[in-house]
């Protein structure tokens, strides 16, 4: 169980990205040789043989467009894996709930944004053995600041976006 809702990329945004990504490049699907590519459409690792794509995604830009925020220089884009075709999205079984792409010892940034789309803090999280408790504590800390409306969790190794969490 998680204390917060990790959100995948919105289905409408996925439709756009599967045509042209946020860097203006056409989507180029491929068949995954190995499993484990972190799919941001359904928040799970890919399986061997699945059709996936690596696309450039600007999560804050898309959130800002929906909310009227103006993130300015904080508007980043980076690589994410998605299914090449529409999928069912994340597993909703509460028995399998957890924070995606989580493994003890992995490093994540937990970046906080205000309603204007500006960074108002962040922290490094080394995922502990009790993964959900570690994420819950980092997100509790983030949302303790009343200015924080949105949190992005990113991988330190590649800097890529993993998922977002919005203020409950």
Contact between residue 7 and residue 164 where contact means Cβ atoms under 8 Å apart: yes
Whether the full predicted model's pTM is greater than 0.95, yes or no, is: no
DSSP code per residue over 45-79: E--TT-EEEEEEE-HHHHHHHHHT---GGG---EE
CA dist 126 and 122 (Å) reads 13
Token representation of residue 163: 């998922």
Tokens 């990205």 belong to which residue?
17
Contact by Cβ (8 Å): 115, 80: no
- Encode the chain (168 residues) as per-residue pLDDT tens digits: 568 999 999 999 999 999 999 999 999 999 999 989 999 999 999 999 999 999 999 999 999 999 999 988 888 999 999 999 999 999 876 666 789 999 999 999 999 999 999 999 999 999 999 999 999 999 999 999 999 999 999 999 888 899 999 998
């Amino acid at each position: 169980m998680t204390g917060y809702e990790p959100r995948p990329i919105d289905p409408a945004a996925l439709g756009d990205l599967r045509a042209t990504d946020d860097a203006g490049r056409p989507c180029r699907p491929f068949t995954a040789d190995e499993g484990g590519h972190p799919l941001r459409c359904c928040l799970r690792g890919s399986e061997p043989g699945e059709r996936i794509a690596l696309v450039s995604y600007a999560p804050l830009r898309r959130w800002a467009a929906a909310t009227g925020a103006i993130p300015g220089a904080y508007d980043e884009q980076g690589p994410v894996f998605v299914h090449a075709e529409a999928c069912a999205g994340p597993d909703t079984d509460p028995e399998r709930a957890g924070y995606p792409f989580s493994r003890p010892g992995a490093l994540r940034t937990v970046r906080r944004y205000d309603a204007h789309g500006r960074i108002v803090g962040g922290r490094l999280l080394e995922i502990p053995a009790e993964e959900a408790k570690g994420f819950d504590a980092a997100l509790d800390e983030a949302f303790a600041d009343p200015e924080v409306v949105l949190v992005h969790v990113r991988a330190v190794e590649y800097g890529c976006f993993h998922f977002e969490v919005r203020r409950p």
